[in-house]
Structure 1
Amino acid sequence: MNKYNICFISFFFLFFFMLINFFMMIYFIMNNMVVFLEWEIISFNSTIIVMSILLDWMSLLFMMFVSLISSSVIFYSKEYMSSELNLSRFIMLVLLFVFSMILLIISPNMISIFLGWDGLGLVSYCLVIYYQNIKSYNAGMLTALSNRIGDVMILMLVSWMLNYGSWNYIFYLDFMKNDYSMKIIGVLVIIAAMTKSAQIPFSSWLPAAMAAPTPVSALVHSSTLVTAGVYLLIRFNNLLIDMFFFKLLLLLSGLTMMMAGICANYEFDLKKIIALSTLSQLGLMMSILSMGFYDLAFFHLLTHAMFKALLFMCAGVIIHMMNDNQDIRLMGGVSLYIPLTSLCMNISNLALCGIPFLAGFYSKDMILEVVSMSNLNLLVFYLYYFSTGLTMFYTIRLLMYLMINDLNLLKIYNLYDENYIMLKSMFILLFMSLVTGSLLSWMIFYYPYMIYLSFSMKMMVIYVSIIGLLMGWMISNMNIYSLNKFIKFYYLSVFFTTMWFLPNLSTYGVNYYFLKLGQNLVKNVDMGWMEMYSGQGFYKIIKFYSLINIIFQMNNFKIYLFSFILWIMIYIILIMI
């Protein structure tokens, strides 16, 4: 019984913490308050290391959401991980993860942000390798090393900010825009945020991190690890808005959004489909953020956190019920056996698509309408709307496979597996998925956005969603032979279905060839540098250069002509300079 006590204690502590944050946030918004606390830890050579805490409505609201989702996840884990002997160790890791995120949220100081940032990376590695097998170890290593790039950027940022006397980024809001040397800070922040929020070219770790237990996926991929990069850019938003790299980020995040949507349509692993939908929504947040609408990005971050955590929890129940099987081709008719879980899953999926009056609609529809009203080129506009259609596409495909098609499992056993402990935690998030959008739109925005569009542009989201719905229904009804005829270009389809070769580039591309190079180098160095650069080694070098000299002295007209043109070109360039 002792191992369950920690679940209840953690749940009540986090839920109580969420209520405190909620009431404080209401008070801060009504009175337009900000509390800034500083504690000087050490002063050395005029460099002061301080622990700072910034409490405003944004940090309190985000902390409230993180605590609510993590309390639901811990309550859910009591049943989901009940067969686990070391349940207390698992809960401790989750609590450490939540603590790292909260430290990141309340810190305006780059030192304490780095502690939270690095804590997220290290604890996420421990959680991804929790089921100790080869797949988990590989996924954990890919996750840790990809995030390590962002950690190095933050470390370089900390050392660069030493030039300016303080690590508190809020002090640089006024003069950053005019100071070119401060642009380095902007570049480092953007690269760090791109690694943590898995934008191209760092996208491959996010689907790989699905090797973690499902409660961890619900926490990591909704409100903590992947949103840390978005949150950091929201905090740094005023400093970065006129940078060229922000425009590059708009393109890359738009491509991430489209890539994830296309890949989710070809994927058959239930958790990977949901992970790719997370990647798509992260691209949406980063792209609207790079256009300067940080409040819209924050709004979508919060609404997305609710229904995505619920979606992962429903997926966990279905995977349990299907005898730990994640292949959607073997599933079907789930709504007959677990109706309440299916209700939660359908509502969270529809919220993801932006169906009117659910949580996702308020943020997603506003983002797309602001994009329609902005002065953008056709490519970015196309990426936004095409990705919105793809979201509907893979969601309907998933629902067809899970709810409507026949059950394809080879075994017959009792499929009823609805557990009231899991359902209670899911119903908390279900209620929040229904009301979060409208509540936040009243709380966050002091005045409504004035969006002036024609009727056809206003209805564009509905048109795209209906097209995506029809395509998803058609594709899920196709058999595999007609689908192969449909995809005539095999290599193009492989390119689109394998995340644009990013997983291969992130694994073989960065280690295999470099290790091979190192192996040759070590083999040569083992022979000794004397052997390489004297005796036979020096003879080989002279022989190589003498061969080149012989080629030049072959009295070949082409060589003379080429060298003449080359020198003329160099001469013209020198005159122009």
Structure 2
Amino acid sequence: MLYYFSLCNILLLYLILISLTFLMLGFYFIMNGIIYFIEYELFMLNGSQVIMTLLFDWMSLIFMGFVLFISSLIIYYSSEYMSGDKYLDRFIILVLMFIFSMMFMIISPNLISILLGWDGLGLVSYCLVIYYQNIKSFNAGMITALSNRVGDSMLLMSIAWMFSYGSWNYFMYIDFFSFNFDVKIIGLLIVISAMTKSAQIPFSPWLPAAMAAPTPVSSLVHSSTLVTAGVYLLIRFNPLYLDSSLSLFMLFISLITMFMSGFCANYEFDLKKIIALSTLSQLGLMMSILSFGYIYLAYFHLLTHALFKALLFMCSGVVIHSFKDCQDIRYLGNLYIQMPLTCICFTISSLCLCGMPFLSGFYSKDLILELYSSCYINMFSYFLYYFSTGLSVSYSIRLIYYLIISDFSFYCYHSIYDEGWIMLKGMFIMVIVSIFGGSMLMWLLFPTPYLVIIPFYLKLMVLLICLFGGWLGYMINKFNLYDIMINLNYNNLCSYFGFMWFMPYITVKISYIYLLMGLKLNKSGDYGWFEMLGGQGLFYMLNDFSLKNQNIQNNIFNLFYIFISFWFILLFLM
């Protein structure tokens, strides 16, 4: 294992150096307004050039820096978390392939090269979800792969639809777009592909199912790679859906996703699934603000969310590791005595998620909610938006309650303490970045600060909703509302909210119908009519003809004598 520790340390050093280089270049580019567009001709075929294009601007460079920085800490964290794995080198290679697929997608301005990174993310994520190789992991991997294949097919159709433009580079002609039928179709296809990757309704069930992967993978997937790819794609293609009915469609879907994920997280007891549903809620928040055209604000929240969500998953991994792979939060409780350092990191990351003032999540969430209050929107959407924000505070306080305040419910004979110093070192770095990262990004990305002028009561609305959500989360768990609903025979209602409005069942049922249809077509087609009318049937027919021909040739003299005798009889009779 000493070899793997040294390998992870080397990777940590190299990735951090590259990430810092990208971050410095990104901040230099944003200060000076520099964009580099690089084209390289791979080969020429029949007079057609096959060109590889790369786009380096401040947005891609800073995002790549964040991806590499978080990935380096997660690989360092994995060296201890996955130390019992016999094939740790295979795990590290898969994680590196995952990172490079995401980076390839980030710097690609071409839809075909975006598809390569996009499909690479889907393929490697499938390999990581089924890493533990059991039935649950295989089912989760299949749901993940099939859901992401919908987005891949939409991206392929958008590539086919863009043949008439002469180029697949989105910013080469994006300023000349007029909203005709072709552009609306391309925009719809790209929005649906982004919805599948970012797990918006009705493609949400794959995100909690992907928690079957190892916890370091979950930390990487939910912070800066797989689920953020859809939001990043919409940031790049933002002129396609602005000022059209697609923006209203995105707003409606994102609001429903926020509400559903926030509500269902308050009924969930799996630690990793609760954090996965919180990711789903934050993705809905990013998609909703994108529908209004605030792309830089969505990008800002994308970066701050990556910091505290990676920390949240790292803390949950330490808890699961200490509790002998138990993920049920009802077994937790009173952990600040046994694991004080982990509890501090977990509480800080949860407060960042809530939007506690002057932590990283506050700078982006508060600005998003204030801008949303200044937008022209109906009352139902306004209520749903703020109520979903309150629910995100509610499930965060619920997690803190079960982790720290509630009674300890694990085995009476236990040995739980802050033992993993390698994991704790990575978490301490992420804590510092999560505390100070929001304000630093605010100063660097927005040299001219946003000025939002709203009434005083709307300004206080954000703080009141957060306080109300925290109080609601504490009271629900203090009086154990879940058990009260079970005792009042509201089992079906609890199941409805606890299983994401039965969407996983619907997804599995729809997939099962098509898989069963494919099995029947395979039986009646490949193994049925195609066999009889295709190659196998032709083989049988030629074999039968050859046997008959051989019989005729073997009996040719007998047939000749019969024919001559028959001919003489006819001549005699005539």
- Do they superpose with TM above 0.5? yes
Question: Is 1:95 the equivalent of 2:96?
Answer: yes
Are residues 524 and 18 of structure 1, via their aligned partners in 2, closer, same or farther at CA, if it must alter by over 3 Å? closer
TM superposition score normalised by structure 1: 0.88
Residues 524 and 172 of structure 1: CA distance in aligned 2, closer, same or farther (over 3 Å): closer
Comparing 213-222 with 8-17, greater Cα deviation is found at 8-17
Residue 157 (structure 1) aligns with: 158
For the residue of structure 2 that corresponds to 1:54, the secondary structure is: strand
CA deviations 1:501-540 (Å, max 9, x no partner) are 11011111232476169649956998979xxxxxxxxxxx
Correspondence 1:373 to 2:412: no
TM-score by length of 2: 0.89
Q: Residue in 1 aligned with 2:81? A: 80
Runs of 4+ in 1 over 4 A off after TM superposition: 485-490, 520-529
Q: Does the CA contact (< 8 Å) of 2:389 and 2:465 recur in 1?
A: yes
Deviation at 1:167, TM superposition (A): 1.1
Separation in structure 1 between the aligned mates of residue 16 and residue 450 of structure 2, nearest angstrom: 33
Residues 1:345 and 1:163: Cα distance change in structure 2 (over 3 Å): same
Alignment of 1:533-552 (within 5 A): none
Aligned match of 1:320: 321
Cα distance change of structure 1 residues 332 and 149 upon mapping to structure 2, 3 Å threshold: same
1:205 maps to what in 2?
206
Structure 1 counterpart of 2:174: 173
What's the secondary structure of 2:175's corresponding residue? coil
CA distance 1:475–1:27, shift in 2 (3 Å): same
The answer for the alignment partner of 1:104 in structure 2 is 105
Displacement after TM superposition at 1:426 (Å): 0.7
For residues 65 and 527 of structure 1, the distance between their equivalents in structure 2, rounded to whole angstroms, comes to: 54
Kindly indicate whether the alpha-carbon contact (under 8 Å) linking 1:177 and 1:240 is maintained by their aligned counterparts in 2: no
- Is the 8 Å Cα contact of residues 389 and 468 (structure 1) preserved in structure 2? yes
Distance 1:227 1:44, change over 3 A: same
Q: How does 1:426-437 map onto structure 2 within 5 Å?
A: 426-437=427-438
CA deviations over 1:246-295 (Å, ceiling 9, x no partner): 21111001100010000100000000000000000000001110111111
Contact 1:317 / 1:418 at 8 angstroms: preserved in 2?
no
Distance 1:374 1:43 in 2: 50
Question: Is the 8 Å Cα contact of residues 6 and 91 (structure 1) preserved in structure 2?
Answer: no
- Relative to structure 1, the CA distance from residue 289 to residue 488 in structure 2 (aligned partners, 3 Å threshold; closer, same or farther) is farther
Greater mean alpha carbon deviation, residues 67-76 or residues 440-449: 440-449
Residue 382 of structure 1 is matched in structure 2 by 383
CA gap of 1:513–1:268, structure 2 versus 1, over 3 A, is same
Aligned 1:120-519 pairs, distance under 5 A: 120-479=121-480, 483-484=484-485, 490-512=491-513, 515=516, 519=520
**Partners of 1:363 and 1:45 in 2: CA distance:** 51
Distance of 2:48 and 2:379 partners within structure 1:
49
SS in 2 for 1:297: helix
Aligned to 1:42, the other structure's residue is in SS state strand
Q: What SS does the corresponding residue of 2:55 show, helix, strand or coil?
A: strand
The offset of 1:121, in angstroms, is 0.3
Match of 2:118 in 1: 117
Q: 1:412-444 CA deviation, whole Å, 9 max, x = no partner?
A: 121113322111111111111011111111111
Q: Deviations over 1:26-59 (max 9, x none)?
A: 2112211111111011333564321111111100
Residues 128-151 of structure 1: per-residue CA shift (max 9 Å, x gap): 111111111110111111011111
Structure 1 residue 453: deviation in Å? 1.0
Shift in Å, 1:486: 8.8
Partner of 1:22: 23
| Distance in 2 separating the partners of 1:208 and 1:187 | 26
Considering only CA atoms, is the larger Rg found in Structure 1 or Structure 2? 2
Q: Which runs of 5+ in 2 are unaligned?
A: 531-574
The alignment partner of 1:39 has SS state of: strand
Provide the C-alpha distance between the structure 2 equivalents of 1:239 and 1:409, rounded to a whole number of angstroms: 53
The structural deviation recorded for 1:188 is 1.1
Structure 1 pair 526–226 and aligned structure 2 pair: CA distance change class (3 A): closer
User: What CA distance in whole angstroms lies between the structure 1 residues aligned with 2:339 and 2:417?
Assistant: 6
Call closer, same or farther: CA 1:119–1:485 in 2, change over 3 Å.
closer
Change (3 A) 1:242 1:130: same
302-311 or 22-31: bigger deviation:
22-31
Contact 2:183 2:240 (C-alpha < 8 Å) held by counterparts: no
* 2:568 alignment counterpart: none
Distance 1:418 1:526 in 2: 58
- Partners of 1:527 and 1:212 in 2: CA distance: 39
Q: Distance in 1 between matches of 2:526 and 2:96?
A: 48
SS at match of 1:438: helix
RMSD value, Cα:
2.0
Give the letter for the 2:67 counterpart. Answer: V
Q: Which amino acid aligns with 1:42?
A: F
User: Structure 2: which amino acid aligns with 1:21?
Assistant: F
The equivalent residue for 1:570 is none
Alpha-carbon shift at residue 473 of structure 1 (Å): 0.9
Inter-partner Cα distance in structure 1 for 2:195 and 2:525: 38
TM-superposed CA distance for 1:22, in Å, is: 1.5
More divergent stretch after superposition (114-123 vs 175-184):
175-184
Kindly provide the amino acid, as one letter, of the partner of residue 352 in structure 2: A
Q: Distance in 2 between matches of 1:226 and 1:299?
A: 16
| Contact in 1 for aligned 2:129/2:137 (Cα 8 Å) | yes
How far apart, in 2, do the equivalents of 1:34 and 1:405 lie?
53
Q: CA 1:148/1:527 → structure 2, altered by over 3 Å: closer, same or farther? A: closer
Amino acid at match of 2:508: T
State the shift of 1:411 in Å.
4.4
Conservation of the 8 A alpha-carbon contact between 2:56 and 2:107 = yes
Distance in 2 between the 1:526 and 1:23 partners?
60
Contact 1:351/1:361, CA 8 A, preserved across alignment? yes
The answer to whether the 8 A contact 1:177-1:242 is kept is no
Seen in structure 2, the aligned counterparts of structure 1 residues 2 and 159 have a Cα distance that, compared at 3 Å, is same
What SS is found at the alignment partner of 1:40? strand
In structure 1, give the amino acid aligned to 2:464. Y
**Distance (Å, rounded) in 2 between the aligned partners of 1:427 and 1:453:** 38
Equivalent residue letter for 2:255 = G
Q: Structure 2 counterpart of 1:129, which letter?
A: I
- For 1:64, the equivalent position in structure 2 comes to 65
> What SS does the corresponding residue of 1:171 show, helix, strand or coil?
coil
Give the letter aligned to residue 124 of structure 2.
V
Quick one: distance in 2 between partners of 1:244 and 1:217? Answer: 34
**What do the CA deviations read for 1:377-420 (whole angstroms, capped 9, x no partner)?**
11221121011100111111111111111110134121113322
Deviation string for 1:350-395 (max 9, x for gaps)? 0000010000000000000000000011122112101110011111
Question: Deviation per CA, 1:296-321, whole angstroms, max 9, x where unpaired?
Answer: 11010000000000000000000011
Maintained 8 Å contact 1:353/1:391: yes
The CA deviation at 1:331 is 0.9
Structure-1 residue corresponding to 2:555:
none
Instruction: State how far apart, in whole Å, the 2-side matches of 1:119 and 1:514 are.
Output: 24
**1:353–1:395 Cα contact (<8 Å) kept:** yes
Deviation at 1:239, TM superposition (A): 2.8
d(CA) in 2 for partners of 1:439 and 1:257?
27
Moved more, 383-392 or 415-424: 415-424
1:175 Cα deviation (Å)?
1.9
Task: Report Cα offsets for 1:526-561 as digits up to 9, x if no partner.
Answer: 8979xxxxxxxxxxxxxxxxxxxxxxxxxxxxxxxx
What amino acid does structure 1 have at the position aligned with 2:331?
Answer: L
Q: Which residue of 1 aligns with 2:563?
A: none
Corresponding residue SS for 2:50: strand
